[in-house]
Every structure is written in C-alpha cells, then in structure tokens.
Amino acid sequence: MRRIGVLIALLALLAPPARATLPAEQPYRIAFNNRLVTDVYINDQGPFSFLIDTASSRSLIFEHVRKKLALTQSQPGLLTIYGINDVGKALPVKPAVLRVAGEELRGMTLGVLADSQSGGPDGVLGTDVLTRYFVVLDRSAMRIKFLAPDQDFARDYADWAQTALVPRTLKKFPIQFWYLKARFNDRTITSLFDLGAGTTMVNWDAAERLGLRRRNFSVYGPPPLALQDVLGAKSPAIELLGMEVRLSGRSWTRQTAIAAEAPIFGYFDLEEEPAAIIGPGLLGNNSLAIDFAGQRLFIGPTVKD
C-alpha cells in the first residue's frame, strides 16, 4: 500500500497542471436586428436579454429593468457612456451581483438609459465586462464562453485565421476601444470592432477610396428623418452591394454595407480618415475567439444558415 501511495504521488507530480476551472459558458442568440444577445441575471432576477457589445464603454440597463429591480442612484452625477450609436449621460446604479456565463460580478456600476422602444433589449454587456476575459463565441453550438485571459487558451485557436486587435484611446476621454485592419475591395480601411452593430458601415472617406463620389449621390438628399440619429443628417446614405471584405486569411464575398457620414464615426475619432464599422453583419456567422489581453481576434469556421 505504501508503494502504491508513493506511485500515485509521483504520477501527480509528473502530470501537467490542470486548468483551475472549466470554461464558464452559456447560450447566445442572434436577435434585435442581427445583434448578438445573451442572458444576464441581476440580483438573482432575470433572465434579462443583453446585447454583446465591444464598442460600449460600460455595461448598461434600460429604465424598465431599473424599475423592476428598484435600483437607486449609486453616486452623485451622471456617467458618460460611449456606445449604442451615441454618446450620452446615464444614471449610475450598483446592483449587488451580475451573473453571466457562470461568472459572478459584484460591485459593478451600470448606466441606466431611457427606454427607446418596446420589445428591445434589456441591457448591454460592454467592455467593462468583456475585456476581463478571453471571450469565445462558438457559432456552431451558439455558446458564449468566458475564459481566463491566459495565453494557454490562445494556443487552442492557433489553427484559426487571426488578425491584430489594435487598441486606441479616445482623444477626449481615457476610454479604449479595439480596431481592425480590414480590406474592402483591396483597400485597407481602419475598422472599429463593434459586436453591437448589426450592419457593416463605412464613412464617405472610405466610400470614395472604394471609387464612389459623394457628389454623384447628393441628389438623394439626407437619410430619412427616422434614421438620422444613426446615419447622419447631412450626407446621402447609400447601400453598397457585392463587396469583398478580407481579414487576415479570411474573406467574405457579396457583402453589403451602408455608406454614410454617421455620427458614430465622430464619437470614435474616425471622422477624419477612411473608416468602417465591422460587427455581426460580417462576422455573425463565424465562430470567434477574442483575446483582448493578447490583442488578437481569431476567426473560426463559418456556419451557413
């Protein structure tokens, strides 16, 4: 028996160290105009439907959720929020606990936004949560995983196409977002990595680099009034069809994008250069592994609907 005990001890020493915990994961889905959505529990109530948004500076809830949870303002003043196609002010609240994908987040301050439409999402899962993890979106299983920010996990996705995630801090605020170098019809265009955007969009500097001329479309006038908050009020907005978009070793053909001088380009310091916004409109049918710490985006298999 003593020999068996010694042998077991030696085997334990020789075995490679196991990861401390299994990956935390849960389902996600595509809803609310082609956006990625998952469930979040707040103070043990829910589930609440949250957008997964890599271009929202803070996690948010909408007013109907605040009322349901009876949350009150947690600190003086309002929060400045980047995301949801706008820069705005939000009431701060601090619920006791958020639970998502097996993770328990305590002491987080959330912003509260006014309800904009019935039947919309309940909240937004922003970069204050997402960047804590190595995030995997498994499109074939429709599961989102939150892994530790460990390079061991990056090796698991080494056979996927990968491209750099370039962090940039905004000029006016110490807030960081992530950008990609994408090629649109063989033109390299700086692109905001925005999983909260349902549509691929380019500004008019980028559209002109692709061979269009804004003056040729001025006869169409500004976008409809109902869309000007998103698409801008001055320049024409047109739909671009049949584009090829490339990221590292992956390409997508027959892609659609909107060319517009949308306010969001100014919010993210992209108004003075050719720029695009890339999100689920392009990547939604691909598995993704987002290594914020290692500043890499891994692009996995495509699932055809």
Q: Where are the domains of the chain?
A: 24-138, 151-302
Peptide bond into 47 cis (omega under 30): yes
Contact 248, 300 (CB under 8 A): no
In CATH, the architecture of 151-302 is Beta Barrel (2.40)
Global pTM exceeds 0.75 = yes
The domains spanning 24-138 and 151-302 adopt the same CATH topology: yes
In CATH, the architecture of 24-138 is Beta Barrel (2.40)
The set of residues, in sequence order, having a beta carbon less than 8 Å from that of 253 and lying 6+ positions away, is 242, 244
Q: What does DSSP assign to residue 54? A: T
Residues 226 and 237: their CA atoms lie apart, in Å, by 13
Q: Identify the weakest region by mean pLDDT among 43-47, 127-131, 216-220.
A: 216-220
Contact 122, 64 (CB under 8 A): yes
Residues 258 and 239: their CA atoms lie apart, in Å, by 5
Where residue 88 falls among pLDDT bands split at 50, 70, 90?
A: confident
Determine what percent of the chain is predicted with pLDDT higher than 90.
69
Give the residue-averaged pLDDT of 62-68.
Answer: 96
176 strand-pairing partners: 169
**What integer pLDDT is reported at residue 80 of this predicted model?**
83
